[in-house]
Amino acid sequence: MSTTYTCNTCVQQFPNSETQREHMKTDWHRYNLKRKVAGLLPIAANVFASKVLQQSEAVPERRQKQITKKEMKYQERMARRVVRPSSPTESQASEFSLGYGSGVDTPTEGDAIHETATNGDESSDVSSSLSEDLNTKLKHLNLDEETLQSVKHLDTDTINKLALRRAIPNTDCVVCGVHNDSVEANVEHMTKKYSLYIPEQKYLTDLAGLMSYLGQKVGLGFECLSCSFVGRSLESVRQHMLMKGHVRIPYESEDEKLELGDFYDFTSSYDKKLPVSDAVANDDEDWEDDDEEINSDDEYDDGMLYTDETGTQLALPSGARIGHRSMARYYKQSLKPEPRDGQATVNAVDIRRPDVRDPAAFREQKKIWKEEKRVANRKDAWELRRNNFQKHYRDELLQ
Amino acid sequence: MSLARSTALLDEKNTLTSSVTDKYRLAGKITQTCLQHIIQTVLTQYETYTVGEMCRMGDEFLERATTAVYKSVAEKGIAQPVRIEKQEFVGGVSPENGDKFQGGMLAPGDLVKISLGVYIDGYTAQVTQTEVVRHVPNTSAGETEQPLTGSPADAVCASYLASEAVIAYLAQVTDPNPGKAVGVVTGTKIRELVEKIAAAYHVKIVPGSSVRRIRRFLAGQHDIVLERDYKGVLWEVEGEEERALHAVKLAESEAKQESTEGAVCLYEQHIEEEENFTVEAGEAYQVDIQMAAAPQKGAIRLYDFQGYDESGTVINQYGRDFSVTYGLKIQASRKLLSQLEATTSVYPFKLSHVESNVAKARLGLGEILAHQILVPIPVKVAKFVPLAALYEFSKNSKARARDEASKAVPVARNSSSVLLTNDACLRLTGGQAFPPPYVHSAFELPEDVTNLLKLVGHKHGAKVKDVLPGDVDMAPAKEAKMEE
């Protein structure tokens, strides 16, 4: 009985256990194990060798000291401790981004995670010598003197941290970092892949600006698009957005709308004569639809949004009128329609109807009725008195 | 309703401005044209078509003609569905398709009364013309046309001449020198005039005859409404009987040589008070005179026609009573009422004009009739009651004996609408386009009435202008709905 020594991961056979054990220790086997875990087929030894060769050629000088996760965390913690008291969290970060060659002209190629990793390498490399680091960093950031003064008090960790941050250009996907040809293509990609919805597209005037803003928010601030979450790194915020489904632009509350206000222009929806104030226009639930109010011979031109003098009626460009809720009870009542001329004429002359009576004659008639009633009452009272004609009380039962 | 609106409806809209006169004139023209067609059909094709078919043909004509004119006006249409009444029938004969009673067969020698009317924006023109059905004489065989004679001929003459005389009398208001020829035109004198002519021809005035002012939407179309500011002379059934009996009582008292001081006829008092109105220029009048042959003393009573098989009152037309409001309980009734609101106005109508499926409409009719929202206008027949029977009835109140003594009599009727404008009397309906039928009466007109008739058309006197029948625009015919 011959025993065979195999490696199922790499699909190999070995004559004895020693060779098998040797095999298990090779990088090739480890690589195939990782592939197996990832659900991929194993690769042959020669293929692996060529891959290794390729990799070593591509990044020979970058193979330097790997920064550990622990160290990264520590650095970030330190950076936060310094940054918080002076509260330059978001605005300062974006200020730096502006000085940083605007980020747009340095499109990131390939894997974003890989890129940040290399950035991290760079900074950790420089952090060994402080003074040199600061100078080169600031030179790199290309800041003017004034900003330099404000930045001076920040310690090196913060600088490092800031150097990690880079605004995502508006042609790159905010979530996966894929580069697209144009801003529109980028929006389309994000819409298709992550169901990103851009609100009020009719009034959107600056799409590129909006996309740049989103890129800055994620790339510089590590901030989630839709909630107040701030990630520790770009990866964390991207993962957060993907996991929570937060790849969306919130557009509900007043603040959220104002945040994006710069990219929009709503003036085309205002009336020239009597513009509806923002508060009224946004206060949708206080208006009730009221189609009956449509009036063709109105003094206003159609196709405008305006309110009437009393401010209780809003006219839409479609011609429909919307009444205010405070008037709801009047709109809700269903009045009997005014009779047509024929019926109205007949009603006006028909003396059987009480409302056609001559008012003067009716008053006279009422006087007569009153007098008749009075006389009748007096007669009744008199007869009542007369009914008791017995002089002395006599009990009927005793008779 | 506000006073302002009622004043506008009753006063302002009734001023005879040019636009109002135009509407009246057009209504008159449509009416005249339809009447001409129907008279032609009745006289030449009475053997081909039944009375009901001719009525429905006339209705369709009126419907199409009124649809085509005054597109902006909402309220226009048939003011009186075409009625063709032979002999003793006096009201409401306009049978629906499928009814058992189709108006009876027309025979030579019958008096036929054709009534119809049209309103445009409430301005109404109504007409009634009496014709005599006769054989078309075969001239090649040497036959000559023979006039109708006897008591029906008297009735025809009396009604025609009375209506002409009343119109001539009314026209005096438009005389350039008003009051010169006949004095002030009053209701009392109109009554005297008509009764004089009736007496001269030995005929009785049929109750329901009237000479009344018409206003917008108020054209005496039915007697449901009790009108304020009513101007008119009306012959009523009970009143006429009361007068006849009062005359008997007076004669009795005279025979017993008692004083007649205390005996007062209430009806005559009522007439004196109510009919003492003055006719003025700027008003419109409907002159509607009906006469029935009455060989002896007595009165004319109107009875509901029960059908030839005595199956029950025949009702072809209905009128709406707007003073009644009632929440209907039955779904079909509510549906019918909403259809009524949409399609009808204050005028009489036939059910087929509201709902093409008459059987369906009758489903909801019961509750509506029970609560008097609609008032039926039954088919009536005129019967002559001898004075003896009336007298008996006044003593013992036995109605059956009176009714058995009554006898159906042929009725002649002439009705026209006239406008008394400031310069001339505009006769909307009837007139020279419709000469009276060929009849001979043994009696003659009193001289003063002849003089009155001569006043019209005098060089310096009042003028009567006729609206003549002509071409009218017609809307395309409605396609008949297919019944499943």
Residues in chain A within 8 Å Cβ distance of B9 = 341, 344-345, 348
Nearest CA in chain B to A348: B6
Residue of A340, A343, A345, A351 to mutate, testing the B interface (most B Cβ within 10 Å of its Cβ): A345
Which residue in B372, B451, B361, B371 sits closest to B168, CA to CA? B451
Residues in chain B within 8 Å Cβ distance of A357 = none
Smallest Cα distance from B1 to chain A, Å: 8
Domain ranges of chain A: 5-58, 117-164, 166-268
The pLDDT tens digits for B335-369 are 999 999 888 889 999 998 888 888 888 888 989 99
Nearest CA in chain A to B225: A350
Of B75, B225, B322, which has the smallest distance from its Cβ to A341's Cβ? B75
Residue A113 predicted with pLDDT over 60: no
Cβ <8 Å between A341 and B122: yes
Cβ <8 Å between A343 and B346: yes
ipTM over 0.90? The verdict is no
Cβ <8 Å between B75 and A353: no
Confidence of residue B39 (pLDDT cuts 50, 70, 90): very high
Write out the H or E segment, with its range, that includes residue B124: strand B123-132
Tell me, what's the pLDDT at B138? 67
Cβ <8 Å between A342 and B122: yes
What is the distance between the alpha carbons of residues B467 and B162, in angstroms, rounded to a whole number?
A: 20
Residue of A338, A340, A341 to mutate, testing the B interface (most B Cβ within 10 Å of its Cβ): A341
Smallest Cα distance from B230 to chain A, Å: 9
Domain ranges of chain B: 15-313+378-464, 325-377
Cβ <8 Å between A353 and B10: no
What is the distance between the alpha carbons of residues B301 and B393, in angstroms, rounded to a whole number?
A: 13
Tell me, what's the pLDDT at B411? 93
Q: Which residues contact A141 (CB under 8 A, 6 or more apart)?
A: A96, A99, A100, A162, A163
Q: Is B325-377 a domain of CATH 1.10.3470?
A: no
Smallest Cα distance from A307 to chain B, Å: 32
The pLDDT tens digits for B378-414 are 999 999 988 888 888 888 878 888 888 888 899 999 9
Tell me, what's the pLDDT at B183? 82
Residue A10 predicted with pLDDT over 50: yes
Q: Which fold has domain B15-313+378-464?
A: Creatine Amidinohydrolase (3.90.230)
Q: Among positive and negative, which fits the CA dihedral A169, A172, A178, A179?
A: negative
- Name which of A282-286, B288-292, B328-332 the model is least confident about: A282-286
Contact B297, B203 (CB under 8 A): no
Which residue in B316, B297, B443 sits closest to B374, CA to CA? B316
User: What residue ranges in B215-365 does DSSP mark as E strands?
Assistant: 232-234, 284-293, 298-304, 315-320, 349-350
How high is the mean pLDDT of chain B? 86
Cβ <8 Å between A350 and B323: yes
Cβ <8 Å between B10 and A342: no
The pLDDT tens digits for A234-251 are 888 888 988 888 888 888
The pLDDT tens digits for B139-189 are 666 667 778 888 889 999 999 999 999 998 988 888 877 767 788 888 889
The pLDDT tens digits for B419-434 are 998 888 899 998 888 8
Note the Cα B187 to chain centre separation in Å.
18
Tell me, what's the pLDDT at A90? 42
Tell me, what's the pLDDT at A157? 65
Confidence of residue A127 (pLDDT cuts 50, 70, 90): very low
Residues on A contacting B at a C-beta cutoff of 8 Å: 339-353, 355-356
How many CB pairs below 8 Å do chains A and B form together? 66
Token pair recorded at residue A269? 């929806």
